[in-house]
Amino acid sequence: MIHKKPLWYWALTRCRGLQALLLILIVLTIFFRVFPLEMQKRIVNDAIRFRKIDALYLYCALYLGAVVLAGIFKYAINVIQGYIGQRILYELRTGLYRHIVRLPIPFYRRTAPGMVISSVTGELASVGDFLGGAIAVPAVNVLTLLTFGVYMFTLNPLLAVLSVAIYPFEILLIPMLQKRFNRLNSERVTTTRKLSNVVGEAISGIQEIHANAGYALEARKVDRLAKTLLDLRHRMNLYRYGIKFTNNFFQSLGPFLLFLIGGYLSITGRFSLGALVAFLSAYEKLYDPWKELMEFYQGYQDARVAYRRIQEAFDVEPEFPLKPSDRAPVALQGAVTVQDLMFEVEDRVRLLDQVSLQVSPGERVALVGLSGSGKSTLAMVMAQLYRYTQGHVYVDQWELKDLTKIDVTPHLGFVSQYPFIFDGTLKENIVYGRQAALLNGNPLPGDETGEPPLEEILRTLEFVGLTEDVLRFGLNTVLDEAKEKALGERIVRLRQQFRDQWSDALQDAVEFFDAKTFLDYSSVAVNIIFGYPVDGGRPCEILPLRPRFRRFLKEVELEEPLVRLGLDVVNRTVPLLRDLRDDPFFFRQSPIALEEMDTFQEIYEHYGAAPLERLPPSVQEVLLGLALRVVPGKHKMVVVPRELKEAILKSRSLFQQYCLQRDPNAFVYYSDTAYLGARTLLENILFGRLKEEDSWAWARITEAVVDLLKRENLFHTVLEIGLDFPVGSKGDRLSGGQKQKVGIARAFLKHPRILIMDEATASLDMASQNRIQQFLDGEIRGKITVISVAHRLETIRDYDKIAVMKSGRIVEIGRYDELVEKKGLFYELVHGHG
């Protein structure tokens, strides 16, 4: 584990074969870097001095060959070194992450998410970069220094000694500067983590920030940390560039001594010119390995600081082992016994105190109480999410804290009040527990893929009330090419049946596409082309940018009326909306978006009363784009003149002919006999658009569409498509109720022996809550143990036991009617809820 191993462990134990290959390449590279120096000496002293053309060609060819080979070997060293670094970084990152996700939940209560993210991503990268060259860099540079030093000594011992005499001063001075740099770098890492946490916290709490206009408050937090970073970075630069200055000064001092003494020896005939040239070249090449060694030293210090900080941050052991080491995983039946349970958090704050509870297999037990009574804490302890301090929790005959995660999790379903939804598809979230069990080596019997059969998933969706949501997701999906080929023809046949059966009954809910009718619930742009661009995008945004489209509008005399419509939109809406910027509701009835208000207000003020011929071309283009996005049925503030609608209708066929002659593949045109590839399934079935997005319209459409889908055996197919709906980061494309249903479905699909629900239906409407309660009362009653933290007491009337909690203790226990008759705390809770 990363938090137990020293930094050099990774460099010395990983990729040993590649490390050995690197050492071989390093030796070859050094040889071919020294060889050209000898050729330089011979070219001057032998070939040039004695005018030997053949020798000149030979030495030059050998020189060039050595340079090329040295470059090739150096390239290979860099590539291999980089791969080793990335390979070790991969192992470090994945190993650290495996450790992090197993750390106790209390660790995350006191640890900033930004620090965790920063450690796994940015801080480990510098460690990996260093480890990639931890062996190769010092080896190649030390050997290079020694080789060039020996070669220089063979040329002239005195000059060689003088050349290296300055390096001890560097070795003494640079570590002193580096030590101060490291201290500042450690502070920088801490401050960066704090900054990451503040930014991450702001993103997570963006709704609260907007609700309180806390922009300046959040900016002040970042400003304070950013200023600290500025100061640290500035001081670090003072030392960093001080190290570079020291290094460069001593490197520049060397040639001064060589020119002074070497030149004197050459003039007096005690040192040949060729040897002096070779010596100067050798000394010059000493600088690169020395510089790289200094950078390696700095890199080592950076990596050491980052690695030590990461080790310190995550030097925490998981509370429960993952797998048993000396036995097979146990098979639990569902009995839970709690005896004298105590649970304390930091500073000896006691959340549970002497709690005892007996739950038999198949029983349903409710935990109730006021906020802070400890009911959720007890549920999380029984779910093995917290490790209790004293007392006992037995599952069957096993002590819970002695069981591993693989013993417990396959038999346990846990649903929190706010289930976490992972980025990915709806299906991936629903089967998460089954997938985890498979990867942990303890899947359900017969579960070879971790993915339940589609029928089982769909049945679970029905139990939790997600079927209609998934159907909506499926119907609003644009099919990929493979699915379109498989389903396209069947959907087109379904379309015709839908029109035959439902067109009259749904006229008030759906605007069907009709080539002879102006479409009030489609944009003006769509009305002109009666289709959409092949390359995607909204026609009202793409068309104004195409010169060919502008030429067409002029030819059919539509450009001027459309620009006039755009100006009319500005004159009608800007005076009404400019003082209503705080209420987005009114902007829904206008094609002018809230963020565009300043632009159109400026046009209104300068050109609102101007004739069209006085409008600059740039303004006309903006007004044209505005007119093309007008949807008359949606934008109630706008009136499209009847004459303009008729002119647009007349232009449709002309536009298609115009495009077929000049750019036949630019658009797809609506056709009731062809599948519309870039449109949703629902639009393809309806061959039209909903006039309203309200629930009443959707309910009527759903009833009609579901009936046809079932008749054509396509209902499950559409649901399967809906399961691939991307839910977004943290499920932000789902409502709170949908998230809870996903969490409940995730737990049901595990077929647990024990189901613990911590206010798991709090965000659901009564209908959805009753549906799930019926499932608990009927389908699985007596088959699994249910422990429910309840907030709506009417849902637990038939439970076998109700444990009433206060201040971390169970103060009453019994059935619903028994507890009401006692007229104790439960009686007060019932009447308080009533």
Give the contacts of 664 (CB within 8 A, at least 6 positions apart): none
Residues 329, 698: Cα–Cα separation, whole Å = 49
Could you report the per-residue pLDDT of 662-689, keeping only the tens digit for each?
777 778 888 888 898 888 898 899 888 8
CA-nearest of 513, 508, 524, 523 to 674 is 513
Domains and CATH numbers, the chain: 2-313 (1.20.1560.10), 336-465+726-830 (3.40.50.300), 478-510+675-716 (no CATH), 514-669 (no CATH)
CA-nearest of 170, 138, 175, 120 to 2 is 120
5 or 710, higher pLDDT: 710
Question: Which range, 194-198, 266-270, 820-824, is most confident?
Answer: 820-824
User: Which tokens sit at 322?
Assistant: 């993952």
Residues 771, 605: Cα–Cα separation, whole Å = 58
Within 10 Å of residue 60's Cβ, how many Cβ atoms?
Answer: 13
- Beta pairing class for 785-789 and 364-369: parallel
Print burial letters for 217-253: b (CB count within 10 Å at least 16), e (below 16): ebeebeeebeebbeebeebbeebbebbbebbeebbee
Helix/strand/coil for 438: helix
The Cα-based distances of 147 to 26, 140, 141, 155, 793 in angstroms read 12, 10, 10, 13, 84
Print burial letters for 6-43: b (CB count within 10 Å at least 16), e (below 16): ebeebbeebbeeebeebeebbebbbebbbbbbbbbbbb
> Does residue 409 register a pLDDT over 80?
yes
pLDDT confidence tier of residue 172, bands split at 50, 70 and 90: low
What is the average pLDDT across 15-30?
86
Cα distance between the two ends of the chain: 55
In this predicted structure, what is the pLDDT of residue 253?
A: 61
DSSP labels, 20-52: HHHHHHHHHHHHHHHHHHHHHHHIIIIIITTT-
What is the average pLDDT across 215-229?
82
Residues 197, 220: Cα–Cα separation, whole Å = 14
* Cβ 739 vs Cβ 455: under 8 Å: no
What is the average pLDDT across 46-75?
85
In this predicted structure, what is the pLDDT of residue 262?
A: 62
Could you report the per-residue pLDDT of 751-763, keeping only the tens digit for each?
899 999 998 887 7
* Cβ 523 vs Cβ 517: under 8 Å: no
Residues 42, 49: Cα–Cα separation, whole Å = 9
In this predicted structure, what is the pLDDT of residue 218?
A: 78
Residues 448, 439: Cα–Cα separation, whole Å = 10
pLDDT confidence tier of residue 393, bands split at 50, 70 and 90: very high
User: Which tokens sit at 147?
Assistant: 């080789």
435 or 723, higher pLDDT: 723
769 or 735, higher pLDDT: 735
pLDDT confidence tier of residue 60, bands split at 50, 70 and 90: confident
pLDDT confidence tier of residue 41, bands split at 50, 70 and 90: confident
Q: What is the CA radius of gyration of the chain?
A: 38
Angle subtended at Cα 381 by Cα 377 and Cα 387, rounded to the nearest 5 degrees: 115
Helix/strand/coil for 548: helix
Residues 520, 518: Cα–Cα separation, whole Å = 6
Burial class (CB in 10 A: 0-12, 13-18, 19+), 703: exposed
> How far from the centroid of its chain's Cα atoms is residue 581's Cα?
33
In this predicted structure, what is the pLDDT of residue 679?
A: 84
357 or 203, higher pLDDT: 357
CA-nearest of 660, 317, 335, 698 to 509 is 698
> Does residue 386 register a pLDDT over 70?
yes
Max distance between CA atoms of the chain, in angstroms, equals 121
> Does residue 203 register a pLDDT over 70?
yes
What is the average pLDDT across 117-133?
80
CA-nearest of 371, 375, 296 to 343 is 375
What is the average pLDDT across 195-208?
73
The sign of the dihedral angle between the CA atoms of 543, 547, 549, 554 is positive
In this predicted structure, what is the pLDDT of residue 309?
A: 80
Mean pLDDT of the chain: 83
In this predicted structure, what is the pLDDT of residue 834?
A: 42
Residues 226, 246: Cα–Cα separation, whole Å = 30
pLDDT confidence tier of residue 813, bands split at 50, 70 and 90: very high
In this predicted structure, what is the pLDDT of residue 518?
A: 93
* H or E segment to which residue 349 belongs: strand 349-359
CA-nearest of 417, 370, 372 to 829 is 370
Give the contacts of 597 (CB within 8 A, at least 6 positions apart): 574, 577, 578, 581
> How far from the centroid of its chain's Cα atoms is residue 166's Cα?
52
User: Which tokens sit at 339?
Assistant: 């005896």
> Does residue 639 register a pLDDT over 90?
no
CA-nearest of 150, 127, 153, 158 to 258 is 158
What's the count of helices (H) and strands (E) in the chain, helices before strands? 34, 14
Question: Which range, 36-50, 358-372, 694-708, is most confident?
Answer: 358-372
157 or 378, higher pLDDT: 378
Strands (E), 630-732: 667-669, 688-690
Amino acid at 629: R
What is the pTM (predicted TM-score) of this model? Answer: 0.75
In this predicted structure, what is the pLDDT of residue 263?
A: 66
In this predicted structure, what is the pLDDT of residue 359?
A: 93
pLDDT confidence tier of residue 806, bands split at 50, 70 and 90: very high
Angle subtended at Cα 272 by Cα 271 and Cα 273, rounded to the nearest 5 degrees: 120
> Does residue 833 register a pLDDT over 60?
no
